[in-house]
């Protein structure tokens, strides 16, 4: 399949309004961090299909957001930065030994900071809300038929992102509404994972006035920078409620 021809046809037919020539380059495409696409001699820093003990982990993050702001317009912004989370002890399924297929794993977001530039919005910074419970839960993926064994797990990331938009002169957020991004993974931490939203979220200023919309968000987990094993950590109640 000739991707460039197909993409050009999309533009020519007006199917991809706002997508210009530069957006057709692979640099702006979200298809997974390059480490996930392998290559000769590639060895992963993570054991696939395997549980590991609790740890503090930091990794590179790329986030692409599609945002509309009243008075400024709509744009797709590519952001890069870092994420840090505290991964808890895995929990075995009821009546089952602790193993990859049955276990549930949660992680608490400690920090997420990504930055990018937009011709419409100026500099854009996206961060998490440390005062709120945020994190991810990895659980067995439902099998399509009884008796099937699924090698993958479903991952749901729950965040309260804050969007600092230079040309708006303020920070907007989704208020009390948690943003959920989902993906399928085969290792933890999920290097190479691409998680995506499946709905829009209204964006509010600090007074609660709606100023725009988060139309879509797509996040790539990139390179693992640090992995620091820690003593056994249980899931805080507040986080358990958010990722339930």
Partner 1 sequence: MTASDATTSPDVVHLADEFRTSVLPVTKEFLEKKISANELRAAWRPYYYDVFHPFDLSVEQAWRRVSDSTGRLEFGPPQADPSHELPLLLFPVSIAHNNFDRLIEVLAVELGDQTVEATKIPERIVDFAHVVDALNHLLTSLAPRP
Q: Residue count at the site for partner 1 (CB under 8 A)?
A: 70
Torsion angle of the four alpha carbons 125, 130, 234, 227, in this order, in degrees rounded to the nearest 10: 40
Q: Does 15 bind partner 1 (CB under 8 A)?
A: yes
The pair phi, psi for residue 68, each rounded to 5°, is: -120, 130
- Cα–Cα distances in angstroms (integers) from residue 3 to residues 8, 17, 23, 64, in the given order: 8, 18, 13, 21
Query: Whole-angstrom Cα distance, residue 36 to residue 223?
Result: 9
Residue number, 17 or 95, with CB nearest to partner 1: 17
Q: Which of 71, 131, 142, 148 binds partner 1 (CB under 8 A)?
A: 148
Q: Does 101 bind partner 1 (CB under 8 A)?
A: yes
Q: Which helix (H) or strand (E) element contains residue 12?
A: helix 3-12
Among the listed residues 62, 75, 83, the one whose alpha carbon sits nearest the alpha carbon of residue 166: 75
Q: Which of 20, 43, 131, 142 binds partner 1 (CB under 8 A)?
A: 43
Rounded to a whole number, what is the distance in angstroms from the first to the last CA of the chain? Answer: 41
Q: Does 225 bind partner 1 (CB under 8 A)?
A: no
Residue number, 133 or 163, with CB nearest to partner 1: 163
Residue 170: CB minimum distance to partner 1, A: 25
Q: Does 172 bind partner 1 (CB under 8 A)?
A: no
Q: Does 70 bind partner 1 (CB under 8 A)?
A: no
Cis-peptide into 32, omega within 30 deg = no
Interface ranges with partner 1 (CB under 8 A): 1, 3, 6-7, 9-10, 13-19, 23-24, 26, 28-32, 36-38, 42-53, 64, 66, 76, 90, 97-101, 144-145, 147-152, 182-186, 192-199, 215-216, 218, 229
């Amino acid at each position: 399949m000739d991707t460039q021809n197909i993409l050009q046809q999309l533009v020519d037919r007006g199917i991809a309004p706002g997508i210009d020539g530069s957006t057709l380059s692979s640099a702006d495409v979200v298809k997974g961090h390059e480490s996930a696409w392998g290559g000769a001699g590639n060895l992963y820093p993570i054991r696939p299909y395997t549980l590991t003990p609790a740890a503090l982990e930091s990794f590179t993050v790329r986030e692409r957001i599609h945002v509309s702001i009243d008075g400024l317009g709509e744009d797709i912004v590519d952001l890069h930065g870092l994420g840090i989370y505290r991964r808890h002890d895995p929990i075995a399924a009821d009546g089952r030994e602790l193993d990859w297929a049955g276990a549930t794993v949660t992680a608490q977001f400690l920090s997420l900071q990504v930055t990018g530039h937009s011709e419409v919005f100026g500099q854009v910074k996206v961060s998490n809300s440390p005062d709120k419970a945020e994190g991810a839960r990895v659980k067995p993926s439902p099998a399509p038929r009884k008796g099937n064994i699924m090698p993958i797990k479903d991952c749901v990331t729950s965040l309260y992102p804050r969007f600092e938009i230079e040309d708006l002169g303020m920070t907007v957020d989704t208020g009390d509404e948690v943003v959920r991004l989902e993906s399928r993974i085969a290792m933890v931490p999920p290097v190479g994972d691409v998680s995506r939203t499946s709905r829009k979220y209204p964006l509010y200023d600090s007074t609660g006035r709606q100023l725009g919309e988060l139309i879509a968000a797509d996040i790539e987990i990139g390179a693992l920078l640090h992995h620091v094993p820690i003593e056994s950590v249980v899931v805080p109640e507040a986080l358990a409620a958010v990722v339930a």
